[in-house]
Structure 1
Amino acid sequence: MVLDVLGLSSEESTAYRALVSMPSAGPGDLAPRVGGDRDEAARLLGVLERKGLAARSVGDIARFVASPPGTAFGALLLQRQNELRLAELELGSLAELYRAASAGRGVAEVVDVIIGVPALRQRLEQLQLGAKSEVMTFVKAPVAIISGAENTAEDDAVARGVRYRVLLERAMLDEDVDIDGIVAARNAGEEIRIADSLPLKLFVVDREIALLPLIRSSDVATTGALLVHQSGLLDALIALFELEWATAMEVTASADGFAGSGVDDLDVQILTLLLTGLTDQAVASHLRTSLRTVQRRVRRLMDLARVQTRMQLGYQAFRLGWLPGESGHRRG
């Protein structure tokens, strides 16, 4: 709850919210609202009274009334705001010191080493929570650090407007990623492309720092990472990302904007997965449909595009704007 930030426990927050919604309350009235017995409710009322969040009723001192929220939390909120301002000033000062120290880094100090999965998970979360504008990442099998479902820091960053460019290795479609996850990520605002293979795992934040997980599949306990600071090496990693990104297959999961083309969402998803190199059977498995349906859809698309081979279909799909591409005719 929001009130937790202002120094209340979750139980105290629940009790105060319940008390605010009632003219007055005794332990018996409050108990059902806080999921406890009368003794627990009486204890919580006592805590709220000591914190100035509740007062005894004039007509019956066994009953309590909530203190006005503006009065009860106004001073505390102002205190927290002042603490945040001081923290921002201190952070700015530390950032200046860090930049000055970074400028004097030697070649050996451009790269830091992180050892162990717990430390690597923590640093990955910190980097995403601190991202301001953009995150670029290579996602390569095997997944040994954190799965997409566990990476809630990514969801938080996307929600606050950080641009995510995610480049998936095709093998990830067989390990940790399905079409539903891709659709959900795209709907949330992420940009996703698929490459045949990727040279390494990579995570670049704001073009200022990069994380290179080093995974030894035979011994996850010794997994570590390199943390690369601003340098020529970081510039090279960013250039590598841009090169791989430019040649990768953009993932399209919806036929929105292609009205009248005769192409629907399933057609677009089938085309996208086929062009990443998956077999008909693998496409059917990912889309939870039958092999026969995939083959029938592909034949219909070939007829729509007026082509005889699948290679021609891929070319025509881009040219007609069924899939994204530099040469495609965009609708808009």
Structure 2
Amino acid sequence: MLEAIGLDERQESAYRALVALGAAEVSDLAHRLALPRTDTERTLRHLERQGLAAQSTARLGRWVAAPPAVALGALLTRQREELEQAERAAAHLAEAYRAEAAEPAVHDLVEIVTGVGAVAQRFRQLGLGAVAEVCVLATGDPVGYGADGGAGAPAVAHRVVVARERLSAPGGVHGVTAALGRADQVRVADRVPTRLVIADRALAMVPLRELGEPSALVVHGSGLLESLLGLFEAVWRDAVPLRLGGAHGTGAGSAGAGGAVVEEAPVRPDATDLEILSLLLAGMTDARVAKHLDLGLRTVQRRVKGLMELSGVSTRLQLGWHAHANGWLTRSPG
């Protein structure tokens, strides 16, 4: 817990033991910490340099702990000052970078990042540095985006397009839900041409398949970036909205005799209706939708029929057009 102020696990244990005892002989402390005497003395010398311990003036070989409120408070103050200095240095560097980037050289418009660790780190930087919007094209499994991928601050908007084949794989919808749970808007496309991440319309990242090891291209503001933005918008425009999550156990039903739920035609779609419709438009069968939402197959079919009656249409294709025209899948039911 005290790593932030420069103590390793052994030093923290020694200081905690001294605080608990008030004072201790080196041999007693070594026994308590299960350390050789030389290692214990070395640890105590480090605590002494940090102002956390001191040798007793009354008894040779005895060490006493400095009061935590005073000693740790001083270390925390020093850490805050160093952090503030680092923040000021970062601000100066950012300003210098902006000034240099005002007229970037051609070779500075792209970066090649090589290696699994480097690619993952750059991806996290891209997401965490976003302040307005993150746009993602996800081919296959969208692992790396979301909770563990650096999806930006909560205020950042997210638009994600997932390949339809990902939903068709076993556990596909659950995997997408877990990976993209924070995304504001998710759509499904028959084909996603490449993996792509764009942060604030200013930086983009795409994989490079030509190199022997995992690599990616980071693109700065340029005509190439504009082309990648155009690619994302084209795929986004043709994709089908997908509703992730939702209240699976709630709807327009009411309790009947014996506690059974009697389905009634809803006045307007509820969250479960819209999630059923979204998954169907994404290419899933009635049976797979029912399994994913933990509903009965006949319940799914009955709800779809209710949506068709509500829309005044006779086919599911017409229902899809009606849902799109009325914005059912782009806003929460009210």
Check if 1:233 corresponds to 2:239.
no
Letter in 1 for 2:193: P
Q: How far is the alpha carbon of 1:223 from its aligned partner?
A: 4.0
| Unpaired segments ≥5 residues, structure 1 | none
Could you say which residue in structure 1 is the equivalent of 2:111?
112
Pairing of 1:156-305 with structure 2 (within 5 A): 157-158=152-153, 161-174=155-168, 178-184=172-178, 188=182, 190-215=184-209, 221-256=212-247, 261-262=252-253, 268-280=274-286, 282-283=288-289, 287=292, 295-305=297-307
Q: Which has the larger radius of gyration?
A: 2
CA 1:42–1:112: 2 relative to 1, 3 Å: closer
Could you say which residue in structure 2 is the equivalent of 1:147?
143
CA 1:28–1:88: 2 relative to 1, 3 Å: same
Q: How far is the alpha carbon of 1:276 from its aligned partner?
A: 0.9
Could you say which residue in structure 1 is the equivalent of 2:315?
309
Could you say which residue in structure 1 is the equivalent of 2:79?
80
- Is the 8 Å Cα contact of residues 139 and 202 (structure 1) preserved in structure 2? yes
- Is the 8 Å Cα contact of residues 117 and 221 (structure 1) preserved in structure 2? no
- Tell me the secondary structure at the aligned position of residue 76 of structure 1: helix
Relative to the length of structure 1, the TM-score reads: 0.71
Q: Counterparts of 1:19 and 1:132 in 2: how far apart (Å)?
A: 46
Relative to the length of structure 2, the TM-score reads: 0.70
Residue identity (%):
36
Pairing of 1:38-57 with structure 2 (within 5 A): 47-54=46-53
- Is the 8 Å Cα contact of residues 290 and 300 (structure 2) preserved in structure 1? no
Q: Counterparts of 1:13 and 1:136 in 2: how far apart (Å)?
A: 44
Q: Counterparts of 2:23 and 2:239 in 1: how far apart (Å)?
A: 63
Pairing of 1:2-151 with structure 2 (within 5 A): 3-16=2-15, 22=20, 24=22, 37=34, 47-54=46-53, 66-141=65-140, 147-148=143-144
Q: How far is the alpha carbon of 1:229 from its aligned partner?
A: 1.0
Q: Counterparts of 2:248 and 2:296 in 1: how far apart (Å)?
A: 22
- Tell me the secondary structure at the aligned position of residue 212 of structure 2: helix
CA 1:57–1:248: 2 relative to 1, 3 Å: farther
Q: Counterparts of 2:99 and 2:148 in 1: how far apart (Å)?
A: 33
CA 1:115–1:29: 2 relative to 1, 3 Å: closer
Letter in 2 for 1:199: P
Q: How far is the alpha carbon of 1:274 from its aligned partner?
A: 1.7
Count residues with an aligned counterpart.
311
- Is the 8 Å Cα contact of residues 243 and 329 (structure 2) preserved in structure 1? yes
- Is the 8 Å Cα contact of residues 23 and 65 (structure 2) preserved in structure 1? no
Q: How far is the alpha carbon of 1:124 from its aligned partner?
A: 1.8
CA 1:235–1:317: 2 relative to 1, 3 Å: closer
Could you say which residue in structure 2 is the equivalent of 1:324?
329
- Is the 8 Å Cα contact of residues 203 and 210 (structure 1) preserved in structure 2? yes
CA 1:48–1:82: 2 relative to 1, 3 Å: closer
CA 1:14–1:116: 2 relative to 1, 3 Å: same
| Unpaired segments ≥5 residues, structure 2 | 254-268
1:260-316 per-residue CA deviation (whole Å, 9 max, x = no partner) reads 53477665544322211133455466x286xxx664233111332226533244356
- Tell me the secondary structure at the aligned position of residue 171 of structure 1: helix
CA 1:254–1:225: 2 relative to 1, 3 Å: closer
- Tell me the secondary structure at the aligned position of residue 112 of structure 2: strand
Give the RMSD, CA atoms, in angstroms: 4.3
Q: Counterparts of 2:293 and 2:248 in 1: how far apart (Å)?
A: 24
